[in-house]
Structure 1
Amino acid sequence: MHNRLINKVNHLLERTFPEQRLFLRSEDGTRFIRLSPLTQALGWTGSAAFIAWSIIATAVLLMDSIGTGNLRDQAKREKQLYENRLQTLSDERDTRASEAAAAQERFNLALAQISEMQSELLSSEERRKELETGIGVIQSTLRRTMGERDTAIDSVEAMLAAAREEGTNGAAALPAQASATLTFMTEALERTAAERDQIAIEAQNAENFARDMMYEARLREERNDQIFRQLEDAVTISLEPLDKMFAKSGMSVDHILNQVRRGYSGQGGPLTPMILSTRGEGPDPDAERANRILGELDRMNLYRIAAQKMPFGMPVKSGFRFTSGFGRRWGRMHNGTDFAAPIGTPIYAPADGVVVSASWSSGYGRLIKIQHEFGVETRYAHLSRMRVSKGQRVSRGERIGDIGNSGRSTGPHLHYEVRVGGRPINPMIYIKAGRDVF
């Protein structure tokens, strides 16, 4: 049965592959090998398959080599672009920090000027009131003196009239006592007239001085208003990015600022609210305006303190690439963000805090945990070296370890986590929020 099948196949293939004989000659004689059509067909098929496989394998290797080269070049370009972007962000952060420091100096100078102007305003107001009181006294004295002068003139005229009625011939015929009285009254009238003229001149000078003081007060008020507007605009511009940054963190901004305020509750210095006596009058609008600005400056200062205590900074500065983000990966939850970089790349604390753990942790390898304010904790896994120890207090930007490949890891990288109240949060929320300011 088997031979008949083979013979049938040979008969079908005989037209395409006729039977061939391969002669082999040696010293002993000549022999031949019979190549049937089936054998030839199998040989041709195997040769064709081998050649096709060789062509396909060569093409695959060439395509893989070309693709690998392109991916490598693309990765280098992306790395260079990202490093340039990080350098730009770093320069912008330094610029913003310089601008903030300059703005703070301008604020302090402006506040000193406001305090000085407030003192001048109070002094000028007191002098104005004193002048008004003095002018009133002068006017009252002048009216009284003029009344006394008129009374004295009436008395002299009455005495002269009485003397003429008695038959005297003028001042020479008056009794000696009447003549002396007349001389005294005349001198008194002259002195009174001179005093009246002097008082009138002083009153006019006082009125002119009061008008000058009121004009200077209006000029000072206009200058104060301009300074207040500039301060209010500067504070608004400075506070806007800070408000956005903390709002993007997803935490209660009021809760954060209240907690910072409780920890920094001392008072005194240029940012203390101004308390001025109103002497029973309504509140001073300038003082209220200055206190509002001081309140905004205090809020900005609280933001600055809180920003140092929250992980808005980058744990790796340069020479890295993001390889895996926060979320599900291969069916499991990935609770952090991965930064791939060579072994030994420095890792920095993104905020002030206290190291609560620095040890080996199975899958994490060498693991550092830092507890920050407001219930925030950060974790740094797969390290090659830990440069801090448990209980140590670290500051923002301080080097805490080196990138490595310890634990369950496919290559050197940093696994970075942020947890709020023990719950994992996407670290990029804080990193992206911090880019708006730092």
Structure 2
Amino acid sequence: MFSPPPLPTPPTPRMTPQILGEFNYKRTFNDFVEKTAAENETDIPDYINLKSEPTALMSTPQLATLHGRRMESHVINTKDGYLLTLHRISPKLDSTLSNRTIILHHGLLGSSADWVLLGPTKSLPYILSDIGYDVWMANARGNYYSRGHIKMAVDSEEFWRFSFQEMGEYDLAAVIDYIRALKNSNELIDFVGHSMGATALLVLLSTNPRYNQYLRIGVLLAPLAFMSNVEGPFKALTAMAINPPDQLLKLIGRKEFVPSRKIPKWLAVKYCKGPLLFCCNPLYFISGGIPLDTRSWDVSFLARLLYHVPAGGSTDTLLHYAQVVKSGKFHRFNKIKDQFPLNAVTVPIAILSSSDDWLASIPDLLRLYFSIANPIDHYIIRGKNLSHTEFVWGANAEELVFKKILDFLDQGIKTFSGAKSNEISDLSFLSLR
């Protein structure tokens, strides 16, 4: 007979929920952006006009308030002392679900803001809240909402010695423990992770299998695990990923990855085709999918996008991914032989991918699909020009991605069993590995 997993210890002073005043966030976020905005404007004048847009410098809670939502901010401790911020949107009182809980985890160099950039009607957290979900948005260590430690200074080298490995083993574990303790419930939690957020889940469940008991389903959007078939400028890092030379570290940062939030113009021009506004953006530079014509874009959305992305991260995180690209394995940082045991991931997992994604390729995701214990579907979006970043804030994300997420959350486990996918039977992609 199944017995529910035990609840974690109720919050102690170390884990006491903190609903923060908005002024604290406003100062932190604005300081982070203002510090680098002037540097960007020197070489890219387009930033000047974008900065004048009212929503450009708004924090995640401010954007939520603008969208007519009430958002809570909770600060939690990890076991290794990092201070992380969770953003929460409670469900509507008249919703059909009975307060089901879901965690949304942002992708590479992202933050909780990524999920609300599409505005009040098309953003995934609001869609989920409207149907009754208690929505929690994580912020991984190193982004501008999670830059604190109980002992280490944020500008110290020691603070930045982490990668996605610690985000899974410590950050996501702390998030799940905190939510379960605060709600005092054995209810299983749903999880949606994009890019690095999906990586964090795979790390946690493979290294600490007891967390498999706490989740109902994991929906992984363009997950980064096996990365042998990566395309674009990111390949240039792989040859120097184990022992990066000083010249490279001077270029990309010894602690924070590109702390100026700007790829040097000469490097952007050499490896990237498209507007400098995007080619000089570290995330777009790495992930590809550079928009060639933004004349029809809403200026307010463009301002929100380019002032919130990237949100910060460690150089070690990028180097860890580069090591994974080079080795062809999903392993610990600087330990190629110490692979994460993906067969320990027993939560039902659904994967969404795109044929136009430079980082999360279809052959690599098929390999991931067959490495985990309980895959339920691999849904491939073909020919829609959906790049790695656009799973969360793309113009067609609501139609192409979010509806499929809702389908998985509602019917996924019941409907799908084994290898039932729109494309999973096409095993010819495995030959491309």
Confirm or deny a common fold (TM above 0.5): no
Q: How high is the TM-score relative to the length of structure 1? A: 0.19
- Larger gyration radius, structure 1 or structure 2: 1
Q: How high is the TM-score relative to the length of structure 2? A: 0.19
Q: Which has the higher helix share?
A: 1
Higher RCO (Cα < 8 Å, 6 or more apart): 2
